[in-house]
Amino acid sequence: MIINILAGGPEDLLPELSSFGNASDIWIGVDRGVLILIQNGMQPKMAFGDFDSVSNEELLIIEEKVKELNRFKPEKDETDMELALNWALDQNPEKIRLFGATGGRLDHLFANIQLLIKPVIEEIFVPVEIIDQKNKVYIKGPGEYTIKQNPKFKYISFVPITMEIKGLTLRNFKYPLTDRTVPAGSTLCISNELIDDCGTFSFTEGILMVVRSKD
């Protein structure tokens, strides 16, 4: 089971939502994202939010269409997206995808990036990724990982989340690395590319953000 969570980010940055998931996957709406799912003919299993970004008429539509509606006061310690993600992580799915999590306000974007770090820190072994029209973003802890060629996302960047990444090694990349320490603030690993069907990246210490992008 894959859980897809749609927030209320700019609709022009969304990929084609119908191309993701199958009958066994679950769609969750966050705030205005619930309405977007409904307008696209998709049935959200649950909804989370304070719904301060929808009108009273739109909220009535949401209440009519969604059986499991989790409504919160605007004054709270977690964002709507965090509340939805916490629920999703508790379900122990195969994967969690976040949509509508980029664009618009930068504080929302940075908060959503921060949410990707939580499963790594807490050793919750559920992959979580943010996807929009031009990017796919995920976080990894120390280890060795295989990464496959994807023509939809040609460029691959590696961004330190911690103060440094130790032992970073990139194989089958246009710009390879071997046992390199990469400090926070470095742009060394921006816009790399695979030179084969797949490659590997590995590191021994730190937390690393992987960004796959296209122009």
Per residue in 139-185, pLDDT (tens digit) is 999 999 999 999 889 999 999 999 999 999 999 999 999 999 999 99
- 10 Å CB burial of residue 63 (0-12, 13-18, 19+) is middle
How many whole angstroms separate alpha carbon 69 and alpha carbon 113? Answer: 25
Give span(s): CATH 3.40.50.10240, the chain.
2-133, 139-213
Fold of the 139-213 domain: Rossmann fold (3.40.50)
- The closest of 199, 206, 211, 201 to 142, measured between CA atoms, is 206
> What's the pLDDT at 96?
97
pLDDT band at 36 (very low <50, low <70, confident <90, very high): very high
> What's the pLDDT at 178?
98
CATH architecture observed for domain 2-133: 3-Layer(aba) Sandwich (3.40)
Which pTM was predicted? 0.91
Taking CA atoms, 14 is separated from 91, 93, 173, in Å, by 25, 22, 29
How many whole angstroms separate alpha carbon 177 and alpha carbon 193? Answer: 12
pLDDT band at 51 (very low <50, low <70, confident <90, very high): confident
How many whole angstroms separate alpha carbon 163 and alpha carbon 182? Answer: 9
Mean pLDDT of the chain: 92
Q: Over 90: is that where the pLDDT of 65 sits?
A: no
